[in-house]
Structure 1
Amino acid sequence: MKLFFWKRKKAGGPQKKKSKVREWIEAAVFAIVVAALIRTFLFEAFMIPSGSMERTLLIHDYLFVSKISYGPRIPMTPLAWPFTNHTLPFTKTTKAFSTAIQWPYMRLPGFSKIKRNDVIVFNYPLGDTAIYSKSGDDADYYVMKRNLTPDTLKLFYGDPIYRPVDKRETWIKRCVGISGDTIMVVDGQLFVNGEPGFAPPEALTSYRVKTRTGKPFNDKQQKDLHLDAGYGLGEDSSRYYLYDLTTEKAALIKQWGDTIQPDPKVKTRKGIFPGNPDNYPWSEDTYGPIYVPKKGATVQLDTCVLPLYRRIIENYEHNQLEVKGDKIFINGRQTTAYTFQMNYYWMMGDNRHQSIDSRFWGFVPEDHLIGKAWLIWFSFHKTYKDFYIRWSRFFTLIK
């Protein structure tokens, strides 16, 4: 094997035989370069870490993500160790990249445009202020779920760590709203532009159940519902809070004559985007309407509307924003309108009651998109009790 960067001998001169070590080094370098190019511009592997997309995607599904579907994104942080994201393997906080060179967002042409209800892998939109605990665990979750501010976390975990867009955590959700759409959730039902939105056929929903006998589910019923033995709610073992039921399993419980009711998330939550419950008293099941920005579109701004788009203006599109009384200043100029510079998307998990998604952190900018989830190539199930390979999921297309 000869690589272009090795100096060639003149024609007719004596040819020195390569050592085995050099041949192995050349082969390894060639393989790394080819694999890195494939990972950057064609396909990348991804593993499902949580149940937010169940049952469309299951924990420990291994996917191929197609970067050529929407066009491969040119690396914005090109100086990085191959096959790493933001930290070196076997370390907690050692950076695997350098910000000495930063390229602007660019994307090569793709084979298709982003469609409503595509399953997409993207960089976490709040990851520009990642905060780590002393053990190295990512604490962004606690900012959202427990309503703790970054300033409060800083007292316990230290200074935030800046990450470029392409070096943030990778997430996967369904794109239920594309640029220009208006999103609304009413009693748990998604509406897009006033019409019913995508309803996952095997989505998991939370229910509260009370058995008609006043006794716990028997062994067969627990097996049919995939429940652990003794699973119940509080001291009354005839009451259950089941957060992972499909509509098919809910219908089965009704056939048994038990009382079953959906557990709606109707209470206003402070952690819901845009984090302004006084003006936007929303929850997971009662949300919107909210407009998903489109490149070139203009919205009217006032102090009431601003919380919806403030992060876009400041963080994603890099403007200086100030609010003085009821007046808004962008880059030093008073304004009552803003024109968006990028397209944005609205992401939601198919497991609507167990998903941290756009309802918590808002819009996903186009420069955060990595690719389309394409194919499951491997899958297994693991608990503390058992382990088995899900052969039926091998090489299935993601819809």
Structure 2
Amino acid sequence: MLSSQKPQKSVVREYVEAIIIAIILALFIRSFIVQAFKIPSGSMLPTLQIGDHLLVNKFIYGVKIPMTGNVLIPWKSPERDDVVVFRFPKDRSIDYIKRVVGIAGDIVEVKDKQLFLNGEPITNPHAHFTESTVMAAGTGPRDNMGPVKVPEGTLFVMGDNRDNSYDSRFWGFVPLKDVLGKAFILYWSWDLDEPLMSVDRFTSIRWGRIGNIVY
């Protein structure tokens, strides 16, 4: 007699299918929705500390085709003061995080450490300086540069740790297609200098930073 019941899937097959679905879902989320990043340097101090782990909103600037950066569904463009993650223009295999200072059409200039935007001095509460010495014009772009006009389709970015940040002052503009997303929340933070599997690493957890919104 023939049975009307459908053959049951094997346990192994069910596990394999569940793993495949989970991988596809994870890749989709990472590619289009949110991605985790770790802060390895102090260029964004004090806003972001070495050892901060943050989440980046990848769809806020539109749905992009992975690898190419071409926008499929536009939402909005990066704005001044956004903290963005992007592919480093000099080596696109490396991801950088900086603050947007100028958008297309802006005139950016730095005079004796003071940032000017479209001819007006800008006081940014996030800007941090560790050195009182001002490098003379012509000795480097850190303290004196420009004026430069931000081209269409690009951004001018700077680190909050102005005296210790390798940013647009040194290497130029960030193409919008290379912007991966906007940093929005810290989900973990600890001291990377401490050995990973150690009591010191555990006690270095910065509980007060976990859950902080990135401004």
- Percent sequence identity is 43
Larger of the two Rg values belongs to structure: 1
SS of 2:181 mapped into structure 1:
strand
Cα shift readout 1:126-171 (whole Å, capped 9, x = no counterpart): 12xxxxxxxxxxxxxxxxxxxxxxxxxxxxxxxxxxxxx6xx2111
Q: Can you give the 5+ residue segments of structure 2 that lack an aligned partner in the other structure? A: none
Tell me the TM-score normalised to structure 2 length: 0.89
Q: CA deviation at 1:67?
A: 1.1
Deviates more, 1:370-379 or 1:196-205: 196-205
Cα shift readout 1:200-223 (whole Å, capped 9, x = no counterpart): 4462422xxxxxxxxxxxxxxxxx
Tell me the TM-score normalised to structure 1 length: 0.49
1:33 & 1:74 partners in 2: Cα distance? 16
SS of 2:97 mapped into structure 1:
strand
1:37 & 1:124 partners in 2: Cα distance? 23
Paired residue for 1:94? none
Alignment pair present for 1:113 and 2:74: no
Q: How many residues align?
A: 207
Alignment pair present for 1:394 and 2:204: no
Alignment of 1:1-399 (within 5 A): 13-76=4-67, 105-110=70-75, 112-127=76-91, 168-201=93-126, 203-206=128-131, 262-266=132-136, 268-269=138-139, 282-294=140-152, 343-384=153-194, 386-387=200-201, 388-399=204-215
2:149 & 2:50 partners in 1: Cα distance? 32
2:112 & 2:82 partners in 1: Cα distance? 23
Cα shift readout 1:171-221 (whole Å, capped 9, x = no counterpart): 100010011000000110111111122524462422xxxxxxxxxxxxxxx
Distance 1:354 1:104, change over 3 A: closer
SS of 2:104 mapped into structure 1:
coil
Amino acid corresponding to residue 19 of structure 2 in structure 1: A
Q: Is the 8 A contact 1:117 1:198 kept in 2?
A: no
2:194 & 2:212 partners in 1: Cα distance? 27
Distance 1:109 1:283, change over 3 A: closer
Considering fraction of residues, name the structure with more strand.
2
Q: Can you give the 5+ residue segments of structure 1 that lack an aligned partner in the other structure? A: 1-11, 77-102, 128-164, 207-261, 270-281, 295-342
Cα shift readout 1:279-326 (whole Å, capped 9, x = no counterpart): xxx5210111001012xxxxxxxxxxxxxxxxxxxxxxxxxxxxxxxx
1:185 & 1:197 partners in 2: Cα distance? 10
Cα shift readout 1:76-105 (whole Å, capped 9, x = no counterpart): 3xxxxxxxxxxxxxxxxxxxxxxxxxx682
1:174 & 1:379 partners in 2: Cα distance? 20
